Amino acid sequence: MNIEGKRHIWSDYQKEIADDHFFYVRSCIRQSFFPGSEQFFLNLMRNILGKDVYENPGHTTCTGIGYHSDIVPSATIMTVIARHFALMKESGYKNIAISCVTSFGLYTEILDTWKHFPEQLEKTREYLFKATGREFDIPENVAHSSDIIYKFKDLIAQKAKNLLINKITGEPLKIVEHIGCHYAKMFPKSGVGGAEFPHVLSGMIEAWGGNVVDYPERRHCCGFGFRQYLVQANRGYSVSNTAKKFSSMKPFKPDMVLTNCPGCTMFMDKWQYTIKEMEGTSFGDKGESIPVLTYEELAGLVLGYNPWDLGLQYHMVQSEPLLKKLGIEYDNADKFKTKDGKQMPIPQNLINS
């Protein structure tokens, strides 16, 4: 085997990720359903890695869900995203860090559109100026927040308190990585490892001591889609995809699923509940379901943070089996308590708890 040749080819699959000074844009789904993830990303970047990350309160949705549902036209979404770039310019930043894979796909798609159709860029500049009086620059570096964690994965590994080892058996944890389709399938150059060998999550798992599970439907869609779930009658398409994917990974007995896309986290998590209700099927070992975590939540567990501070209790599939394997101590009484100790309502029908 020509290792040097392989290294040379692999270098083509890398992307440039900025080192510091990020303008952070949040995700609609993630800040609603997994609020601990984005909060921990900011904490990790600012307080643990000592990086400069700025959030602008004027930032809005990218309107991606509306765009993919044919409600928001492309001229509108281009102007909305141009406004985000304008906020970034006004704040003095040149590197954008995007929390959402849908948004990331749209930013890359729109930047590519502007590259090939400069007249669209000029039109967007005109629309934005007429509507808001703002001007914008094209960002120097566009990174998804999982790219940034990938870049600093070895630093996190050095500070790790819980490596991804099953403390009961002593074996590395078997982890399924699932990359959002809009991360690199549309524009392979925009993702680490491209569309063929996405390494952004598997790199983290390997660096933190786990084993990546390779199974037949590894690159299959999670079932999220946009049109598939927006109309209730079509949701069978969505849940069937998820069922296919989980049936494929079930024989490998994964300990958890790691995702970098808000939609994947949400649907792989919540459809497991739906499939269990519909058919009585669960896909984990010993009749349990498989916890689905975001990369920030996993990084937080690796760094020894309290799982309830990371928001793991807000998933439909609870993470207790995983926490036991990792040897992390937790108190179930604190699970749904606020920071000042008040008891919040406890959700019904949670799985694995």
Partner 1 sequence: MDKFGFTISKGRQIDYGSNDKRIAEYIFEKEPSFRLCIECGGCAATCTSGNFTGFSLREINILIKRGENDKVRQSLKKCMLCGKCTLVCPRGVNTRNIVVLAKKAFLKSDEYAI
Q: Which is nearer to partner 1, 273 or 308 (CB)?
A: 273
Amino acid at 3: I
Report in angstroms how near the CB of residue 242 gets to partner 1 at its nearest. Answer: 9
Contact 143, 17 (CB under 8 A): yes
235 binds partner 1 (CB under 8 A): yes
Q: Which is nearer to partner 1, 141 or 240 (CB)?
A: 240
> What 3-state class would DSSP assign to 292?
strand
- Hey, how many other C-beta atoms are within 10 angstroms of the C-beta on 337? 14
Part of the chain binding partner 1 (CB under 8 A), chosen from 28-36, 228-236, 295-303, 305-313: 228-236
Q: What share of the chain is helix, strand, coil (3-state, %, to 5)?
A: 50, 10, 40
Report in angstroms how near the CB of residue 34 gets to partner 1 at its nearest. Answer: 23
Report in angstroms how near the CB of residue 243 gets to partner 1 at its nearest. Answer: 5
Sign of CA dihedral 143, 146, 150, 154: positive
Contact 175, 256 (CB under 8 A): yes
Residues from 242 through 271 that contact partner 1 (CB under 8 A): 243-244
232 binds partner 1 (CB under 8 A): yes
Cα 176 to Cα 55, 207, 271, 309, 342: the distances in Å are: 31, 15, 16, 24, 36
CA trace torsion 87, 89, 95, 98 (10° rounding): 10
Among 127, 215, 226, 237, binds partner 1 (CB under 8 A): 237
Q: Which is nearer to partner 1, 293 or 317 (CB)?
A: 317
233 binds partner 1 (CB under 8 A): yes
Part of the chain binding partner 1 (CB under 8 A), chosen from 100-108, 158-166, 227-235, 314-322: 227-235
Report in angstroms how near the CB of residue 248 gets to partner 1 at its nearest. Answer: 10
Interface residue list for partner 1 (CB under 8 A): 232-237, 239-240, 243-244, 274-275, 277-279
